[in-house]
Structure 1
């Protein structure tokens, strides 16, 4: 499903050069739930952004769904991101002036479909995360856990093959965080591949596999395969 081969990424300014990723070899199989762990600033989010085509690697190759990406243009990258990935962030990134259902529809605005079809898919996604009764609310009328569930609904509304989650429970208390993890586990059980950055060892232990990152490199004892937690 996802293959990274010798991927490196360097950020440069006029005075400083920072190696964010170095020689990353990573294979995520279809239907897996993989947790990425490591200290702050170690390169986890950069790695997630490279996987999700939000950032380009400096070196190495990326393969998504069996297709090796050979220097795709911005338009092609945008299409692949929209059709292949769903993104969930620590900060929910909801538009405060839009109702919940309108927030969920946003990714579908870039696809050729009718307004009625967009609304149908958005309603179905909200029902899936248990917020069918909150469609006409605004983000500031929801709890943090509910806002993150809206963000999950927005991520899955386009029926992506892969969900990328960057600290999805980082701004939530333990109860709300557990609810969000339960939703992610259910989506994975239904066939969605999930890659999640987390600092929470307990959450990571609920996934199939843990990949540990340190100073831009994979340092799991088992190498690029990471630590097997549960069978995928």
Structure 2
């Protein structure tokens, strides 16, 4: 599903060169739930950004679902991200001025051919799936952290992506809410067959996935 071949990511300024990823070779199989671990600054989030086509590698190739992404133009990359990839972040990234329903609908605003009524129907269905039908008219400030993360997951999956990229999805949550979010991710992986790549610092969360890889100073070390 995701193949990285000899991927390097180097950030350069006039004064310094920072190697964020070095010679990464990685394959994520369809339906896999992969955990990525390592100390802060080791390249985990950069790896996720490269996988999610939010950032281009300095060298090497990123192949997703058999498609070499380096040849895509910006508009094609944007469409591919919108249709094929779902993103979940530690800080939720919900829009506070929009209610839950409107937040979840957002990715479909950029899909051609999806009517307003269809967006609403799909948003209501996915919010029911994550157990938040009773909170659709609430705003993010009226929700708990766990509920905000479930809204973020609903937004990530409304477009039916086959890959979910989650960056510390339980990092801002207490243990109970974190367990609820992990249960939801497992449900999406097990029942819907979605491929999930999750960055985490939590060994107990990583132990629940099908495979764990570890990074140190931009290199995969295990």
* Same-fold status (TM-score > 0.5): yes
1:69, distance to aligned residue in structure 2 (A)? 2.0
TM-score normalised by the chain length of structure 2: 0.98
The SS at the match of 1:177 is helix
Offset, 1:18: 0.2
Secondary structure at the aligned position of 1:169 is classed as coil
Distance 1:2 1:27 in 2: 6
Distance 1:62 1:93 in 2: 26
Aligned equivalents of 1:133, 1:36: Cα separation in 2:
34
Q: Deviations over 1:6-54 (max 9, x none)?
A: 0000001111110000000000000000000000000000000000000
- Give the unaligned 5+ runs of structure 1: 221-232
Aligned to 1:37: 37
Counterparts of 2:204 and 2:21, CA distance in 1: 26
**Are 1:210 and 2:218 an aligned pair?**
no
In structure 2, C-alpha distance between the alignment counterparts of 1:8 and 1:124, rounded to whole Å: 40
**For the aligned residues, what is the CA RMSD?**
0.6
After superposition, give the CA deviation of every residue in 1:174-201 in whole Å (9 maximum; x if it has no partner): 0000000000001000200000000000
Report matched runs for 1:160-175 at 5 Å. Answer: 160-175=161-176
Correspondence for 1:47: 47
CA–CA distance in structure 1, aligned partners of residues 7 and 63 of structure 2: 11
2:115: which partner in 1? 114
Extract unaligned runs of 5+ from structure 2. Answer: none
Deviation above 4 Å: which 4+ runs of structure 1? none
Correspondence 1:14 to 2:14:
yes
Q: Secondary structure at the match of 2:8?
A: strand
CA–CA distance in structure 1, aligned partners of residues 177 and 14 of structure 2: 43
Deviates more, 1:69-78 or 1:106-115: 69-78
1:73 Cα shift? 1.5
Q: Normalising by structure 1, what TM-score?
A: 0.94
